[in-house]
Amino acid sequence: MIIPAGGQITDAQLEEIARPSYTYKLDLRTQRVSGMVDGLEAVKQAVFKILQTVRYRHVIYSFDYGHELESLIGTNPLFVEAEVRRMLEEALLQDNRIREITDLKVEITGDSIAAVFNVMTDTGSFEFMGEVTARV
């Protein structure tokens, strides 16, 4: 859209359009892309993908994509408990379909961090369980 010389756009003329979350479905059992997903299933898949991606490691992703949880492994457990929530929120709230993370439970075992939490979205909520392990 081109605005003519001297023209203006006011806030009343702007409207926010919700973009669909329709995307390819990853079938983790067969390790293939099969079909499409939308809505809550698409958000579940997005959370999974974000938490499988270490931030800054892959050139294909922006610096806003992925997590930095590996940096917590081997540090003081009290520090880990405090930082996991911040890091999860920083990673997941980049997706504008996700509103908040609730009921976070963290378990530290040796060189791994496991977390269970609820993801609240515009289209519903779901529980997510994930684990990060130090890579050798």
pLDDT in tens, 1-18: 566 777 776 666 667 776
Query: Distance between CA atoms of 53 and 55, rounded to whole angstroms?
Result: 6
Does residue 1 lie in a domain region?
A: no
7 lies in some domain: no
Instruction: Return the CATH number at 81.
Output: 3.10.450.40
Averaged pLDDT of the chain: 86
Find the domain containing 42 and state its range.
19-133
Closest CA to 84 of 61, 51, 58, 56: 51
- Residue 77 domain-assigned (yes or no): yes
Q: Which residues, listed in sequence order, are joined to residue 54 by a DSSP beta bridge?
A: 67
Q: Does 109 reside within a domain? A: yes
Number of independent structural domains in the chain: 1
Q: Whole-prediction pTM value?
A: 0.79
